[in-house]
């Protein structure tokens, strides 16, 4: 049995990405040795450049669809393009990243007896008939649509996690993440928070898909990373899946208005047709996370948006 209170050798795949880089910061701040692995498919080294001189931080260029041989105590498997623009760019590679990536990281966990955390997604619920979505809901996913490479790739990887757990007794921690936002999001990846903020900062019109009445829940990145670390620290045998997200629910119109209030300017709202299979509402039921880890998100949307606007306004000036 490993002791997770001491300094661990932790592998973070997708570690140079939006969530991964915040997780690396947190793990380094807690005194762990971090191997950050990324193939730089959606990012550059910028998100982790500030960590490069740290002797406890190691950056490795590697694609998770190929096996990896390192000695580690714990693994956070985050590697996967997460926004529709990125994951639809090369859909076959997206499914491979989820499925082959899971097999390779599970194999590594099996060999090293490491505890392994997997970033899954609320997309496994598809366009849900149940609202809010508890972990027990099996979802309503189109298996052949343009989002399926991501949704079904993640669903298959979840199956692999639970089969490795049942068959090989692997110590798995499975998170289902709902929309998260914050500094280091990509400015051009088509996700709604970054889209609205960048459009408003550039003084462009704000694009709303559909009538803007569809809802989403938005979790600030620091809250989410706290949820990751707490879930990773739960007792052996507790696997999840566990929803992590902020249950506050907002329509796209409300979000656009909040962004405009913070940024100011004269952007107008323009309406375009909804993309295929876009879910109409999403809201996490976070009862299990609260019960098992005491986790609740703390950063209100207005506050998180202000911090994100600050980040993007600096980024756009550079």
Ligand X SMILES: NC(=O)c1ccc[n+]([C@@H]2O[C@H](COP(=O)([O-])OP(=O)(O)OC[C@H]3O[C@@H](n4cnc5c(N)ncnc54)[C@H](O)[C@@H]3O)[C@@H](O)[C@H]2O)c1
150 is catalytic: yes
Closest approach of ligand X to the CB of residue 17, in Å: 2
Q: Number of residues in contact with ligand X, rule: CB under 6 A?
A: 29
Under the criterion CB under 6 A, does residue 132 sit at the interface with ligand X? no
Q: Which string of x and - marks every residue 42-81 that binds ligand X (by CB under 6 A)?
A: xx-------------------xxx------------xxxx
- Which own/partner contact pairs does 156-162 have at CB distance under 8 Å and 24+ positions apart? 156/95, 156/98, 156/99, 156/102, 157/98, 157/99, 157/101, 157/102, 157/118, 157/120, 158/118, 158/120, 158/124, 158/241, 160/99, 160/102, 160/103, 160/106, 161/102, 161/106, 161/116, 161/118, 161/239, 162/239
What does DSSP say about strands 9-13 and 33-38: parallel, antiparallel, or unpaired?
parallel
Closest approach of ligand X to the CB of residue 156, in Å: 13
Under the criterion CB under 6 A, does residue 121 sit at the interface with ligand X? yes
Comparing CB distances to ligand X, the nearer of 68 and 256 is 68
Q: Which of 76, 87, 125, 150 is catalytic?
A: 150
Closest approach of ligand X to the CB of residue 165, in Å: 19
Rounded (10°) CA dihedral 225, 228, 233, 239: 170
Region 171-210 residues binding ligand X, contact defined as CB under 6 A = 177, 179-180
What does DSSP say about strands 219-220 and 269-272: parallel, antiparallel, or unpaired?
unpaired
Under the criterion CB under 6 A, does residue 95 sit at the interface with ligand X? no
Tell me which of 8, 10, 12, 14 binds ligand X, using CB under 6 A.
Answer: 14
Residues known to be catalytic: 150
């Amino acid at each position: 049995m490993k002791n997770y209170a001491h300094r661990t050798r932790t592998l973070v795949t997708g570690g140079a990405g939006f969530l991964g880089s915040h997780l690396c910061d947190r793990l380094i701040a807690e005194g762990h040795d971090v191997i950050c692995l990324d193939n730089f498919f959606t990012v550059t080294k910028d998100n982790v450049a500030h960590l490069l001189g740290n002797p406890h931080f190691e950056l490795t260029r590697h694609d998770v669809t190929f096996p990896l041989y390192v000695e580690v105590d714990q693994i956070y498997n985050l590697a996967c393009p997460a926004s529709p623009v990125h994951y639809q760019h090369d859909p076959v590679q997206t499914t491979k990243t989820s499925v082959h990536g899971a097999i390779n990281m599970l194999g590594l966990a099996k060999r090293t007896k490491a505890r392994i955390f997997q970033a899954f997604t609320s997309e496994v619920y598809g366009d849900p008939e149940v609202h809010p979505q508890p972990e027990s809901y099996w979802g309503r996913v189109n298996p052949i649509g343009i989002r399926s490479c991501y949704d079904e790739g993640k669903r298959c990887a979840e199956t692999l996690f639970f089969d490795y757990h049942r068959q090989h007794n692997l110590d798995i921690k499975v998170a289902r993440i709902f929309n998260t936002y914050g500094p280091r999001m990509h400015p051009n990846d088509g996700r709604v928070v970054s889209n609205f903020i960048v459009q408003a900062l550039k003084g462009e019109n704000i694009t709303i898909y559909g009538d803007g009445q569809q809802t989403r829940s938005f979790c600030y990145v620091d809250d989410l990373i706290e949820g990751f670390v707490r879930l990773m620290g739960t007792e052996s045998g507790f696997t999840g899946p566990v929803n992590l997200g902020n249950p506050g629910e907002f329509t796209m119109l409300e979000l656009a208005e909040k962004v405009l209030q913070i940024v100011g300017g004269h952007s107008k709202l323009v309406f375009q047709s909804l993309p295929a299979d876009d879910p109409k509402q999403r809201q996490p039921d976070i009862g299990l996370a609260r019960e098992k880890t005491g986790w609740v998100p703390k950063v209100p949307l207005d506050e998180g948006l202000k911090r994100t606007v600050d980040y993007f306004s600096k980024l756009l000036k550079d």
